[in-house]
Amino acid sequence: MQPTGGERDNILPSWSSTTARHGIIESIERMGRTESPEFVALEDRVAVLVGDGALWSTAVQSADNKVVPPNADGDLGSFADYSESVRAHLSLNGPKAVGAKYREFAYQPLKELVGFLKEHHFEIWVLSFGDHEVDRTMVELNYGLPRFRVIEVSATSSETPSLELARAIWDRIGAAPTVFLGRTQTDLGLLKLAGKGEGTLKIQIASGQSGVQEASGTTPDKVSGKVDSWSFVISPERHWLRKFSWQAPSVTSLSKN
């Protein structure tokens, strides 16, 4: 049964009551309804999410490469110690101007979105473009995902796109995502390399931008000439009641965008 009334209000509680929030909820729910034209079979429910700047604040980038990894001669024990050191660094340190620790900079609204995707039986993968061990640890600590669900890829320029992301996703998942969450137009271009799919729900976390339900930003396909766009562009300032679990929810709630 689908949630109604007050039950639906409890879905994504850190999100403002906007058409974008309702649209995302409805889009995911339709993928789970057998009678819906947008129904997606269980084995095809794959979500690929960008980590840095999308699932968590770019403030976490300050923690990248602060712990030195083992050298090539390291054994399994040394790698385990390295992982524990990264976890400790994220748990004990943070930006000096803020009292919170690095591990606490995961976006609360996206914790809720990941939980909602899990409820609808999505297999969730996270793209890592920075310090891969930091990203694996953030995923484990905040999103309850195993470390092997992090796909390690190199930063890719939108000027010279490579096939690395497509290869990485295919090698690890073997399928194109039906839900994709990114941050920049470059991410959207990378999704095209990964195989996109016409029915993919594409959500942009556009920090510092106005954000509207229908994406205003588009990415032209240099091969076909078609224009690709995000399904929803989310501005934290407009669409979220709070960014982090340690913040009090805003009393402001939008109802149109």
For residue 186, name the pLDDT band (cuts at 50, 70, 90): confident
Residue-number span of the structural domain to which 178 is assigned: 14-58+105-239
CA distance linking residue 109 with residue 50, whole number of Å: 15
Domain assignment present for residue 256? The answer is no
pTM of the model: 0.84
Domain assignment present for residue 28? The answer is yes
Domain assignment present for residue 89? The answer is no
Domain assignment present for residue 227? The answer is yes
- Model pLDDT, residue 222: 38
**In 99-250, alpha helices (H):** 108-119, 132-143, 164-172, 185-193, 236-239
- Model pLDDT, residue 155: 58
The number of beta carbons lying within 10 Å of the beta carbon of residue 18 is 22
Contact 239, 20 (CB under 8 A): yes
Contact 142, 56 (CB under 8 A): yes
- Say how many domains are in the chain: 1
97 token code pair: 């101007």
- Model pLDDT, residue 202: 92
**Gyration radius from the chain CA atoms:** 18
Sign of the alpha-carbon dihedral angle for 150, 61, 216, 234: positive
- Kindly compute the dihedral angle of the four CA atoms of residues 240, 36, 115, 123, in this order, to the nearest 10 degrees: -130
CA distance linking residue 40 with residue 240, whole number of Å: 28
CA distance linking residue 33 with residue 159, whole number of Å: 40
Q: Which of 136-150, 211-225, 235-249 has the lowest mean pLDDT?
A: 211-225
Distant-in-sequence, close-in-space partners of 122: CB < 8 Å, separation ≥ 6: 45, 46, 47, 178, 179
CA distance linking residue 117 with residue 112, whole number of Å: 9
Domain assignment present for residue 209? The answer is yes
Mean pLDDT for 97-108 is 92
CA distance linking residue 250 with residue 252, whole number of Å: 5
CATH number of domain containing 195 = 3.40.50.1000
Domain assignment present for residue 111? The answer is yes
Q: Tokens 């240099």 map to which residue?
A: 222
